[in-house]
Amino acid sequence: MTKDEIQKGIINTIVNANCKGIVLSSVRSGKTRMILESIRKHSLEDAPLIFLAYPNIDIKNSWEKECELIDYHPEFIFSTFMSLEKMKSVKASYYIFDEAHLLGEENQLPIAGEIAKNNKHVIFASGTYNQETLSNIKLYSGMKMIVNYSTEQAIEDGIVSDFSIFVHQYDLDSSSIVEYGKTKKWKSTEKKECNRLGNRIINTNGQQKMFAALERMRFINSTDSLFNAVSNWIKSNPNERFILFSSSEKTGEKYKLPMFNSKSKDDSVLKSFQDGDINKLCLIKKASAGVTFPNLSNILITAINSNGENLEQMIGRSLLDDTEHSNIHIFVSNETFQQNWLKKSLESINKNKIKYL
């Protein structure tokens, strides 16, 4: 089947379900376009009012761009997931929760579920759901899955390119003495400092435990050992086109690459990469979803955590069918806690695609 045929089939499925249900449609399969075309086909209005809830501005922008591309111009009420509480009484013809896997279970998902139960046409959409997230959405919304088109199925159908994951493992430095601290200073090795932060997590409770865990996460994502491992790959592959997902602006700046983040004054650097004017780009908490990168076959991920859905979204940036195969490079320390994060994040991915280096 061609991509058009698959998309038409999904559109018909959504329409036949009265535009209500949970949609899983592979990254890079045209999810936004298919939902818009479903509404266009289903609605009796030329410009129905759509309530669109989204996690970040990239997603909102992708919907506006898609409307221009397909020459369809419904009216929108936009809301971030963070603003759902004050927006829950808004009346619209259709309600869309895009990247629904990112709805916070404790505060956002119950509100989204309430909206789903009180309205006729509601779609929870994502390219990546794990089983726990999917179960929670079904529980809170009372809806069933109406589209189940996975990335693996899209690869098999030739809709998106296949990929391999290369896990680059490294040890924290246990011999070089480094200065730590802002006001109070102390000296230690990376290995000892990581152990100290780990012990703080063990020996604290409540909010202090949470802060200690966050501090260790920031530490492990900004070590010199990580920087050296990534830099070695970059130096060994001078002609490769790639994007690098880094954890913070301070860390990203060390790579001396063109950067796009939430503090960027505009998206000129992003567009330069998309247009092929530059071939290397560092992303800081931006463009991991809702953004297309043509001719991209290499992604470097340096801030791994246990969220497999976010990992699959990042992988999806390189799965356009304009490349035959994509290479995903994950850089991770040999520390047990981070290896456990990695294991959790890779649970839904075919093990034959993963190679440990």
pLDDT digits 0-9 by tens, 119-136: 999 999 998 888 888 999
Mean pLDDT confidence for 308-337: 86
Joined tokens for residue 34: 């298919």
Count of positions (residues) in the chain: 357
Domain architecture of the chain: domains with CATH = 3-154 (3.40.50.300), 162-171+224-356 (3.40.50.300), 178-220 (no CATH)
Distance, in Å, from the CA atom of 215 to the CA atom of 194, rounded to the nearest integer, reads 10
pTM of the complete model: 0.81
Burial code (b: 16+ CB inside 10 Å, e: under 16) for 221-249 equals: bbbebbbebbeebbeeeeeebbbbbbbee
pLDDT digits 0-9 by tens, 72-121: 999 999 999 999 999 988 999 999 999 999 998 888 999 999 999 999 99
Among 264, 260, 267, 354, residue whose Cα is nearest residue 311: 354
